[in-house]
Amino acid sequence: MEQLNHIASIIALTMGASWASGINLYATILMLGIMGSAGHMTLPPDLQILANPLVIFAAGVMYCVEFFADKVPGVDTGWDTIHTFIRIPGGALLAAGAVGNIDPAASLAAAIVGGGIAAGTHATKAGTRVLINASPEPVTNWTASIVEDLAVIGGLWTALKHPWIFFALLAAFIMVMIWWLPKIWRGIKKIIGAIGRLFGIKTKSDLSQDTGQHPPETDVFDKNIDIGTRLEKLKALSDKGLISQEEYQKKKEELLRGL
């Protein structure tokens, strides 16, 4: 049983560090470093460098920068975009370091899984922030940022002190993430469409709403219109870039086959 708990502790540290890194890498490094240097936990050999005062200082400085950047609407999204290339590799490295020198294959597997978990939490955090930023008031943004910081601290503490509880919470988080990410993507597309309309860019659905009619390509197959007019309409859609050349040729063939 003791050996099982030891293995569970290693896995919990691996997954907990990568999960937290996807939200706030600097807070993760800072917390692990402080706990390791204060003797509240024994860091694996490959992560003992986190307890170095210089590493703790650097992580602390960057955490302070992120603390303020993360609470400014718009700036937080830019910060998250840049950190797509930092949090995910960071989570993978921490996961691999948590496993230690048990086996190179185990380290690589931990890095792969850790990178995936970090990517998932990062996408969930960054995407949710984009939706929150659509609201003009800043309170929701500040609240989300503080909740994220507390989640990192609470999640890491649970992973280190109560690994089995952490496994259950992580499983629940993954299920929620799978449900939530598609909704985030649909919301982001709506926001992009709204921004496009501000600059006069209209989608096909916008064009159909403006005219109160179905999208223009449906007129091409209206049998109440003669074939010559339908071919002209089809060519006009192609010329305007509303359909690709390949789609134009395909629809043209369909029309001619219907004669």
pLDDT attached to residue 77: 92
Residue 129 has pLDDT above 50, yes or no: yes
| H-helix segments, 138-198 | 139-161, 163-198
Q: Are 200 and 231 within 8 A, CB to CB?
A: no
Helix axes 245-257, 227-239, angle to 10 degrees: 170
pLDDT higher at 14 or 259: 14
pLDDT tens digits, one per residue of 179-189: 999 999 888 88
* Local confidence band at 212 (pLDDT 50, 70, 90 cut-offs): very low
Counting DSSP H helices and E strands in the chain, the numbers are 10, 0
pLDDT tens digits, one per residue of 221-240: 666 677 778 788 878 887 77
Structure tokens given for 224: 């109440």
* Local confidence band at 211 (pLDDT 50, 70, 90 cut-offs): very low
Rounded to an integer, what distance in angstroms lies between the CA atom of residue 30 and that of residue 57? 8
Helix axes 75-82, 84-99, angle to 10 degrees: 50
pLDDT attached to residue 242: 75
Residue 141 amino acid letter: N
Domain residue spans of the chain:
2-198, 204-257
* Local confidence band at 25 (pLDDT 50, 70, 90 cut-offs): very high
pLDDT attached to residue 121: 97
- Mean pLDDT over each residue of the chain, to the nearest integer: 87
Q: Are 133 and 9 within 8 A, CB to CB?
A: no
Residue 16 has pLDDT above 80, yes or no: yes
pTM of the model: 0.76
Q: Are 111 and 95 within 8 A, CB to CB?
A: yes
Rounded to an integer, what distance in angstroms lies between the CA atom of residue 141 and that of residue 1? 44
Counting residues of the chain whose pLDDT is more than 90, the rounded percentage is 60
Rounded to an integer, what distance in angstroms lies between the CA atom of residue 103 and that of residue 90? 20
pLDDT attached to residue 214: 45
Lowest-confidence region among 10-14, 228-232, 240-244: 240-244
pLDDT attached to residue 15: 96
Structure tokens given for 246: 């390949």
Rounded to an integer, what distance in angstroms lies between the CA atom of residue 164 and that of residue 152? 17
pLDDT attached to residue 38: 93
pLDDT tens digits, one per residue of 76-126: 999 999 999 999 999 999 999 999 877 889 999 999 999 999 999 999 999
Residue 20 has pLDDT above 90, yes or no: yes
What mean pLDDT comes out for the span 61-67?
97
Rounded to an integer, what distance in angstroms lies between the CA atom of residue 93 and that of residue 29? 11
